[in-house]
């Protein structure tokens, strides 16, 4: 159930990267927002007088249209075709209904367990079209009667829809045992949902490289794509690390998540307790019911563990290397050096299964990226705000350190001076933050800069810090291009 926090200007705050600078709207984002707004407002002005009242009859019409449009778009990819085949093998043509409804308590969208329905939150639909104060009934009418507005919305929410459709299929296959008593999902089911939706988003961007470059150049942003890109950019060569990143994504969205393994152990312990009680009271019905439930969960865990292993084994190796190279190449094209640098350690992993020629080619490309980044920093150090310069230096240092390269000597003095100054600013910003994620971002970077100063210049920070949570996530930030 994705949340709407992850806008491009806030990616740094959520995923440990650069905080938004300046506070103003970016030119490309502003233009695109106005285009979307005009599409929606024109749709309202040009509405015909409908012969039926604004009631829920329109829900069904809109649901059918959206279901078909999503299917048409998603099935243009291999991932989409394979998923729809799995879905239709289990459910035939029975797709969940789609509803547009406003909620202050939900995220961008969600699959409603008991209703077999996917909901899109109109609270964020209005943000997407840059409109305010429209009732759900009016939004439904506009979306039902204006092809352009509907097409724009469907195109940019397809990954979200697919994610929720995966949960719909899981519900069909596994039923109530898929859910915790509190109504949340077991973490393992999110591994599948995020992995498939990330694979789909990758294929979609491969087909629209112009859009992907605009996203990485910070020239395009919308509330749905921002969520998709934030997850996609957390891909690594290591499936274990990728699953940990999914855990972080899911942890942000639901408090008190639990894994199938933890739930199985918990139910086993409860079962042992009830077994003892049943002997004492003579009431064995409750114990037998829980025993059946426990066995069902155990079978479910075994089946799903097997499915996940086979699924990751089949798709992960090719997908991860292809996605990382695509991100790296596009980042370089967009002059997003921090992002390009951040892919280097993952593509050069020592335990990689790639052949030697491939590894050597990647190392050569990495060396060229590092040289380009050095030249870029030297040429633009006076143009860049200090925060952005600090981030470029940080990612360069990380890329060099993690691949056994030396940090460029000609940037040593610059690194020291920038880190010393940025630490003071980040400490003040951290102290003023009420949002824990934002505070954690600043403190994590302060820790990195302080460690670097101590290691490389024997400068020890005298500031007492609240230790940030380790491994908040890979820093994948969209930087300004200079």
Query: Cα(19)–Cα(387) distance, rounded to whole angstroms?
Result: 9
Choose the most confident range, by mean pLDDT, from 175-184, 325-334, 438-447.
325-334
Of the two residues 385 and 107, the one the predictor is more confident about is 385
What is the pLDDT at residue 3? 40
Banded pLDDT at 328 (limits 50, 70, 90): very high
- Over the stretch 402-443, which tens digit does the pLDDT of each residue have? 999 999 999 999 999 999 999 999 999 999 998 887 898 899
Could you tell me how far CA 364 lies from the centroid of its own chain?
A: 30
DSSP one-letter string for 358-396: HHHHHHHHHHHHHHHHHHHHHHHTTTS-HHHHHHHHHHH
**86-90, 258-262, 364-368, 374-378: segment of lowest average pLDDT:** 258-262
Query: Cα(132)–Cα(126) distance, rounded to whole angstroms?
Result: 6
Strand duo 109-112 + 97-101: pairing: unpaired
Question: Quick check: 50 pLDDT over 50?
Answer: no
Strand partners, 260: none
- Provide the token pair at 14: 């959520």
Residue 244 CB burial class (10 angstroms; 0-12, 13-18, ≥19): middle
What letter would DSSP give residue 404? Answer: T
Banded pLDDT at 11 (limits 50, 70, 90): very low
What is the pLDDT at residue 21? 34
Contact 396, 388 (CB under 8 A): no
Alpha-carbon dihedral of residues 32, 33, 38, 39, nearest 10 degrees? 70
What is the pLDDT at residue 263? 39
Reference 118, options 85, 167, 69; nearest CA is: 167
DSSP3 helix / strand / coil % (the chain, rounded to 5): 70, 5, 25
Contact 291, 171 (CB under 8 A): no
Q: Which residue has the tokens 């940990």?
A: 244
What is the pLDDT at residue 286? 55
Sign of CA dihedral 128, 132, 133, 137: negative
**389-398, 428-437, 459-468: segment of lowest average pLDDT:** 459-468
Of the two residues 479 and 222, the one the predictor is more confident about is 222
Give CA angle at 105 (99, 106), nearest 5°. Answer: 45
Of the two residues 397 and 277, the one the predictor is more confident about is 397
Contact 253, 294 (CB under 8 A): no
Banded pLDDT at 359 (limits 50, 70, 90): confident
What is the pLDDT at residue 300? 67
- Over the stretch 227-266, which tens digit does the pLDDT of each residue have? 899 889 888 767 778 878 777 766 655 443 444 344 334 4
Q: pTM, whole model, 2 decimals?
A: 0.76
What number of CA atoms fall less than 13 Å from residue 121's CA on the CB side? 19
Residue 180 CB burial class (10 angstroms; 0-12, 13-18, ≥19): middle
What is the pLDDT at residue 291? 60
**46-55, 120-129, 288-297, 351-360: segment of lowest average pLDDT:** 46-55
Residues recorded for the chain: 482
**72-76, 81-85, 127-131, 298-302: segment of lowest average pLDDT:** 298-302
Reference 36, options 157, 117, 120; nearest CA is: 157
Question: Quick check: 116 pLDDT over 90?
Answer: yes
Question: Quick check: 174 pLDDT over 90?
Answer: no
What is the pLDDT at residue 253? 54
Could you tell me how far CA 241 lies from the centroid of its own chain?
A: 14
For the chain, how many helices (H) and strands (E)? Answer: 18, 3
Question: Quick check: 447 pLDDT over 60?
Answer: yes
Of the two residues 49 and 42, the one the predictor is more confident about is 42
What is the pLDDT at residue 13? 26
- Provide the token pair at 444: 């994590």
- Provide the token pair at 19: 């905080």
What is the pLDDT at residue 152? 96
What is the pLDDT at residue 78? 97
Mean pLDDT for the chain overall: 78
What is the pLDDT at residue 176? 61
CB atoms within 10 A of CB 423: 22
Query: Cα(22)–Cα(385) distance, rounded to whole angstroms?
Result: 10
CB atoms within 10 A of CB 448: 19
Strand partners, 100: 120
49: left (phi over 0), alpha (psi -120 to 50) or beta: beta
Mean pLDDT across 183-195: 74
CB burial of 329-363 (b: ≥16 within 10 Å; e: otherwise) equals bbbbebbbbbbbbbbbbbbbbeebebeeeebeebe
Of the two residues 327 and 20, the one the predictor is more confident about is 327
Mean pLDDT across 161-190: 74
What is the pLDDT at residue 436? 83
Banded pLDDT at 197 (limits 50, 70, 90): very high
Contact 398, 345 (CB under 8 A): yes
Could you tell me how far CA 182 lies from the centroid of its own chain?
A: 24
Which residues does 439 contact at the CB level (< 8 Å), separation at least 6?
430, 433
């Amino acid at each position: 159930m994705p949340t709407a926090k992850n806008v491009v200007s806030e990616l740094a705050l959520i995923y440990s990267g650069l905080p938004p600078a300046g506070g103003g709207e970016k030119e490309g984002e502003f233009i695109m927002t106005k285009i979307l707004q005009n599409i929606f407002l024109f749709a309202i002005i040009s509405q015909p007088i409908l012969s039926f009242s604004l009631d829920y009859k329109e829900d069904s019409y809109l649901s059918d249209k959206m279901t078909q449009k999503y299917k048409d778009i998603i099935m243009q990819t291999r991932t989409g075709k394979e998923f729809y085949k799995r879905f239709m093998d289990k459910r035939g043509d029975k797709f969940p209904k789609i509803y547009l409804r406003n909620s202050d308590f939900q995220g961008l969208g969600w699959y409603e367990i008991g209703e077999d329905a996917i909901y899109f939150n109109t609270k964020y639909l209005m943000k997407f079209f840059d409109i305010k104060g429209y009732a759900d009934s009016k939004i439904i009418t506009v979306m039902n009667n204006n092809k352009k507005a509907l097409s724009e919305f469907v195109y940019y929410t397809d990954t979200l829809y697919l994610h929720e459709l995966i949960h719909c299929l899981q519900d069909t296959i596994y039923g109530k045992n898929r859910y915790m008593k509190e109504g949340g999902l077991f973490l393992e089911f999110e591994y599948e949902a995020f992995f498939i939706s990330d694979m789909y988003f990758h294929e979609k961007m491969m087909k629209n490289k112009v859009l992907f470059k605009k996203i990485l150049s910070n020239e395009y942003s919308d509330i749905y794509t921002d969520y998709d890109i934030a997850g996609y950019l957390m891909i690594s060569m290591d499936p274990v690390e990728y699953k940990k990143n999914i855990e972080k994504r899911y942890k942000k969205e639901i408090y008190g998540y639990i894994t199938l393994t933890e739930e199985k152990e918990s139910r086993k312990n409860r079962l042992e307790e009830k077994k003892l009680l049943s002997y004492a009271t003579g009431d064995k019905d409750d114990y037998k019911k829980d025993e059946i439930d426990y066995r069902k969960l155990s079978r479910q865990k075994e089946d799903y563990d097997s499915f996940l292993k086979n699924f990751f084994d089949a798709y992960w190796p090719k997908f991860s290397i292809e996605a990382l190279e695509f991100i790296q190449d596009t980042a370089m094209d967009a002059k997003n050096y921090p992002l390009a640098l951040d892919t280097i350690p993952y593509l050069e992993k020592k335990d990689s299964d790639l052949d030697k020629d491939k590894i050597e080619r990647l190392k050569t490309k990495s060396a060229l990226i590092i040289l380009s980044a050095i030249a870029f920093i030297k040429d633009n150090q006076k143009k860049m705000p200090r925060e952005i310069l600090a981030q470029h230096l940080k990612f360069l240092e990380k890329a060099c350190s993690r691949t056994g390269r030396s940090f460029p000597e000609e940037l040593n003095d610059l690194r020291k001076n920038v880190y010393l100054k940025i630490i003071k600013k980040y400490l003040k910003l951290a102290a003023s933050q009420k949002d824990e994620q934002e505070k954690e971002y600043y403190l994590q970077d302060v820790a990195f800069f302080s460690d670097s100063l101590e290691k490389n210049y024997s400068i020890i920070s005298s500031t007492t810090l609240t230790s940030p949570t380790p491994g908040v996530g890979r820093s994948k930030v969209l930087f300004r291009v200079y």
